Amino acid sequence: MYKYDEYDQEMVDTRVAEFRDQVRRRISGELTEDQFRPLRLQNGLYLQLHAYMLRVAVPYGTLNSAQMKVLGDIADKYDRGYGHFTTRQNIQYNWIKLEETPDLLAELAAVEMHAIQTSGNCIRNISSDQYAGAAADEIVDPRPYAELLRQWSSFHPEFLTLPRKFKIAVIASEKDRAAMKLHDIGIKMVRNDAGEIGAQFYVGGGMGRTPMIAPMIREFVPLDQLITYSEACLRVYNRYGRRDNKYKARIKILVHELGKDEYTRQVEEEFAHLLTLPIEPPLAELERIKTHFVEPAFDAGASDELDLSDPDFRLWVERNTHAHKQAGYVIATVSLKPVGGIPGDASADQIRLMAQLAKDYSFDELRVTHAQNIVFPHVRKADLYTLWQALDAAELGTANLDTVGDIIACPGLDYCSLANARSIPVAQKISQRFGSAEKQAELGELKLKISGCINACGHHHAGHIGILGVDRKGVENYQLLLGGSEGADTSLGQITGPGFDEDGIVNAVEKATNVYLSNKQGEERFLDTYRRIGMAPFKEAIYG
Amino acid sequence: MKILTGNDLKTGAVIWWTGVGWSLDVNDAADVAEDGAAIVAREEGVQNVFAAYVIDGVRSDEGVRPAHIKERIRALGPTVRPDLTLKPSDPDAINWVI
């Protein structure tokens, strides 16, 4: 994985020193809160419902063991013994003290991590496929391109005060595991007819109060123009994105209002201008970055045999592992969704255990997924049972990946000052209602996502089943959506009708799944059946 | 009643105006009536508290409770982690939030 050079390290260390001084001045009274607030937000420090919250960037979700261990240590030393992995592949701490934040950031910097640009109207952490570099179906490892974009977007002076926040995802396979089309810019690495690698650009997607699927605006951008084209997309947005209305300030609104063709025309015009400057980093820089993403030293003779005589292990293998490009290896996903648990939360001990296990069994690498799970990307099949036993002993062995139990849920009203309703208790009740292995097997792939407000951090628009919490005259109320998807077949869920209370929404989910089971044909997933039979039978069952 | 809340500058903790100072326990909150804005101006000036604002509250036999669910959760702590709430030894404490 990428290693900081002296410039990266100096930038991060300098920022820590700068923030240390800003915190000192805030506490001494030299800075007012109005003056200090943008400074702390630029360093990922929010004020949430109960305390300060720190959001730490995990570039494209990739971590090494040393970094993961530090994340666990920070949970103990500066928080209350746990961390929360987010839908942006980051980690958040909920109980941070301002006076301790500079020391915390210094400990992060020591392992090449930071919280810069995890807040504010700038380009946020670049996300990617959690199976990058390991998946059998990728045409190339997307992470070097994500890293190039990270370096370009970090401290980019022109894009630190955009009309609104800006999110970029990079993938390199047909199967979209990063919700790419629901980003401000989604980049899909592709191969053209000449066999060359390039980037396909999708611009203007997003969730929030106005969900939109990004249209493709360029089929192929050559690698030596990747940054220039990205710059052109941002420049048009920065120039014409609406700053007068926060709710219409995202690029999706600009692309929608201009129309895809006009936005694309303006980008191409800006692109042509930028090509004359030129601003593109030399390809040698991309090649330098690629050297950090070389394949691990796989055992070419690793056995493909797997002893599945333990039924619990067998179930976990079936549910939570994915084909690796290297024979004898698998990609293993740790579900942070135990039955009745809090989606995305992990204790300090669990985080440190995963760090050690990655060191022992996954070439020192881990990934955070946007579904709030953790991936061991390179596990030798011969080590898989030992790995699972260690995980299972620490309550990390739940076999429910991509099932109804693998729920994405935002922190909701239990933690978030923007939320209107609690997400986590609803997730816990659904997880318990559908917790049995038999029930999950019966329902198959079913992606359920819960947001506690219209900002959609829980990706409810993209759930096969989505739940949106709203405030109805001071009482929590939950709307049900059906038919969303974040995959290659991206679609937006549709609201079924009037909302429910907490128990009512769990019952409504059960009724929806019963309609699926009654109408399922062959190997259809819930989403497939919904698309075939439409909303009407579901509404009838839920409200009839 | 009107109660005044804010956050402790150094720790970020949720705090409540008691009439003479600040408390972590919402049960200590005083009725600030129409004086909230003046107290906010004075207290933020001495740098101990920030993000202060006045909310509606209710006093009952059980103590002082914010009127809105968001503020009740803010006063108690996350309902999904009883061990991290204002009353970690009282597993039923979340009953006054919902």
Q: HEC profile for A486-525?
A: CCCCCECCEECCCCECHHHHHHHHHHHHHHHHHHCCCCCC
Residue B94: band (very low, low, confident or very high) from pLDDT cuts 50, 70, 90: confident
Protein fold of A134-291: Sulfite Reductase Hemoprotein; domain 1 (3.30.413)
Interchain contact B51–A (C-beta under 8 A):
yes
Q: Is A504 a residue whose pLDDT tops 90?
A: yes
Q: Show residues of chain A in contact with B69, CB under 8 Å.
A: 413, 474-476
Give the 3-state DSSP-derived string for A172-236, with helices as H, strands as E and coil as C: CECCCCCCHHHCCEEEEEEECCCCCEEEEEEECCECCCCCECCCEEEEEEEHHHHHHHHHHHHHH
A408-543: CATH number:
3.30.413.10
Q: Where are the beta strands (DSSP E) in A74-113?
A: 82-85, 91-96
Res A391: pLDDT: 98
- A4: its two tokens: 């900081």
Res A101: pLDDT: 98
Query: What is the β-pairing status of strands B2-8 and B49-60?
Result: antiparallel
A213: phi > 0 → left, psi -120 to 50 → alpha, else beta; which? Answer: beta
Among A375-384, B35-44, B88-97, the range of highest mean pLDDT: A375-384
Protein fold of A311-393: Alpha-Beta Plaits (3.30.70)
Check CB contact under 8 Å for B80 and A414.
Answer: yes
Are the folds of A134-291 and A408-543 the same? Answer: yes
Check CB contact under 8 Å for B7 and A424.
Answer: no
Q: Where are the beta strands (DSSP E) in A353-410?
A: 365-368, 374-380, 408-409
Q: Where are the beta strands (DSSP E) in A223-336?
A: 321-323, 329-334
Interchain contact B69–A (C-beta under 8 A):
yes
Check CB contact under 8 Å for B69 and A476.
Answer: yes
Determine the average pLDDT of the residues in A121-125.
96
- Smallest CA–CA distance, residue B68 to chain A, in Å, is 6
Does the predicted interface ipTM exceed a cut of 0.90? Answer: yes
Each domain of chain A, given as residue ranges in start order, spans 6-109, 134-291, 311-393, 408-543
Res B87: pLDDT: 86
Residue B93: band (very low, low, confident or very high) from pLDDT cuts 50, 70, 90: confident
Q: Show residues of chain A in contact with B7, CB under 8 Å.
A: 47, 51
Residue A488: band (very low, low, confident or very high) from pLDDT cuts 50, 70, 90: confident
Element (H, E) at B58: strand B49-60
Domain, as residue range, for B25: 2-96
Residue B96: band (very low, low, confident or very high) from pLDDT cuts 50, 70, 90: confident
Query: What is the β-pairing status of strands A185-191 and A168-171?
Result: parallel
Interchain contact B11–A (C-beta under 8 A):
yes
Interchain contact A84–B (C-beta under 8 A):
no
- Asked if residues A384 and A306 have their Cβ atoms less than 8 Å apart, the reply is yes
Check CB contact under 8 Å for B13 and A422.
Answer: no
CATH class name, domain A6-109: alpha beta
Check CB contact under 8 Å for B69 and A49.
Answer: no
Res B95: pLDDT: 81
Res B61: pLDDT: 87
List, for residues A213-268, the tens digit of each pLDDT value. 999 999 999 999 999 999 999 999 999 999 999 999 999 999 999 999 999 999 99
Interchain contact A475–B (C-beta under 8 A):
yes
Res B98: pLDDT: 76
Check CB contact under 8 Å for B10 and A29.
Answer: no
List, for residues A434-476, the tens digit of each pLDDT value. 989 999 999 999 999 999 999 999 999 999 999 999 999 989 9
Indicate the number of domains in chain B.
1
List, for residues A43-57, the tens digit of each pLDDT value. 999 999 999 999 999
pTM: 0.97
